[in-house]
Amino acid sequence: MTRKVLTGAEIVMECILKHGTKTVFGYPGGAVIPLYDKMFSHYVHPGKIRHILVRHEQAAAFAAGGIGRTTGKAGVCIATSGPGATNLVTGVADAMLDSAPMIAITGQVFSHLIGSDAFQETDSVGILMPIVKHSYTINRAEDIEQALTEAFHLAETGRPGPVHIDITKDAFINTAPYDGNRTVDLPGYKPTKQGSTYQIKKALNLITKAKRPIAIIGHGAMIADAADEVQEFLEKADIPAVSTLHGLSTIPADHPNHISMLGMHGSVPANYAVYNADLVISLGSRFDDRITGKLDDFAPEAKFIHFDIDPAELGKNVKTHVPVVGNIKNILQKINPILPEKMEHEAWWGQILAWKKEYPIDIGQKKQDHGSQMRAPSVIRILGEETKGNAFVVPDVGQNQMFVAQYYPFKKFRSHVSSGGLGSMGAGLPLAMGVKIAHPDDEVWSISGDGGFQMNLPEMATLQQDNINVKMAVLNNGFLGMVRQWQDLYHKKNYASTGMWNPHFIQLAESYGIPAFFADDERSAREAIKKAREIKGPTFIEFKIAAEENIFPMVDAGASLKDTRID
């Protein structure tokens, strides 16, 4: 059989198409002009693939991450050499820390110019290597197909993450045979999918003996597509559950076994339940500092079972009594059928329900007096009521992120998308853009603070140009809210560089041709949300909220979960 001979640029596009990718995000430049030439003449204009021109390469990486986070399939972003590649860095690091599958393709100068400080030459592989699962340097068209075949496999398997491919300009231009049938054989990369039967039996032994068990639903459970298995496990074993920030929307927020989010801004019942548990079962949580608080006083009476695909996470932060390496869906499919019948923890549930009655999530907010100013929780609650918890909600980073986590009633699987590990301000809008591309028939809301929104607000032009129906909401308190809160609590209200001079947001949105609404009370907030939802296209709402509202509950830095404060 005669193989087709294609340019390197065409091979890139054929590999992307073969993988099933429908949309790529990018920004052209000198080193990738040959790729864009073939992309548009042979693939975009015939309708084989969609290219979305972002206004900053960082947004391309975030948007590709939005696809990866909500589909499990690698999103693709493209940038040129030099500044194009370096502008991807934050979005790629965000994908790495949040285990989002992504392919980041960068152009490079002609291979004979490498090392000569040529125009727009940077060592993008060296820069990105610490924040990707793997990197490829390609200077021959013949190597492109195998590299991309392996890259998609690496990005989507095991613990997902970004893979970087740097391709020289001559590799794009030169030709090579295209096979279309490459296979992957990576002897040093064989992720464990099935949990050890021996370890599962040990875990079962602890589960059956526990009097005060708690399950922590982490991001790993969502990545493993294990929503049904998690619910069956909780119900059959009669175990209460809390979620990490990234675990939210794995199961419905109102599931009878679900308490709420735990951690720094988790609820008091969730934090108390973990602290007082005699068994903690981690379903894909990495026990990061935002949920553990003071490590040597984290669940001091508990034994720990840790289910995780990444063996490096087991025992890294918390001493694990029973580690089980594998895909959580597969592990639970083994353990659920052998759980004993009629497991009950009536006394433990009674204590948890008592805490929930004594410490409702808004107990700390009610203690604050902001007069007639609208509160952020009110906005999120109204949004939850109007969407019935069925929208994809993509907060930015800061107070808006925590208010969404606390108050939005997530019903749909994987509908909470947020920058967690890196905490990237500005991620919200481009992440939402990627989510909407991946889920065109679903409602998608981007929730930002006035500070974070301004970091990537030019992407409003992208939304408008490509008619990407993202509903944008800015909670405008005139501050970098979370930093101001810490200055309030720990630095005697020294609001150093946190007060924000903001543009006229409504006029700004309208200058992009986007319908815009303003709300400063609950009535106008509900009306604005209703109007925005009726419009088939991007819309913008500015919610003017209390300037100095702090978010509680809160665990102070270095404190224990038992010391969760409500004001």
Q: Are 121 and 108 in contact (CB under 8 A)?
A: yes
d(CA 340, CA 353): 24
d(CA 534, CA 251): 28
| CA torsion through residues 543, 545, 547, 551, sign | negative
d(CA 283, CA 179): 40
Of 38, 169, 303, 329, the catalytic one is 169
Question: Taking Cα atoms as reference points, which of 285, 209, 212 lies closest to residue 250?
Answer: 285
DSSP code string of 150-184? HHHHHHHSSS--EEEEEEEHHHHHSEEEE-S----
> Could you tell me which residues come within 8 angstroms of residue 366 by beta carbon, excluding any fewer than 6 positions away?
none
Both tokens of residue 539?
């819309």
d(CA 63, CA 431): 5
Of 13, 38, 39, 57, the catalytic one is 57
460 is catalytic: no
For residue 130, whether the previous peptide bond is cis, meaning omega lies within 30 degrees of 0, is no
150 is catalytic: no
Of 4, 119, 385, 465, the catalytic one is 119
479 is catalytic: no
Q: Which amino acid is at 386?
A: E
Q: Which amino acid is at 432?
A: A
Element (H, E) at 351: helix 346-358
d(CA 56, CA 430): 10
The β-bridge partners of 393 are 416, 445
3-state secondary structure 96-142: HHCCCCEEEEEEECCHHHCCCCCCCCCCHHHHHHHHCCEEEEECCHH
Of 13, 482, 540, 552, the catalytic one is 482
120 is catalytic: yes
Of 48, 120, 294, 373, the catalytic one is 120
57 is catalytic: yes
How would you class 536 by CB atoms within 10 Å of its CB: exposed for 0-12, middle for 13-18, buried for 19 or more? exposed
How would you class 234 by CB atoms within 10 Å of its CB: exposed for 0-12, middle for 13-18, buried for 19 or more? buried
d(CA 133, CA 558): 31
Both tokens of residue 90?
């934050």
Strands 23-26 and 75-79: parallel
Q: What is the set of active-site residues? A: 57, 119-120, 169, 482
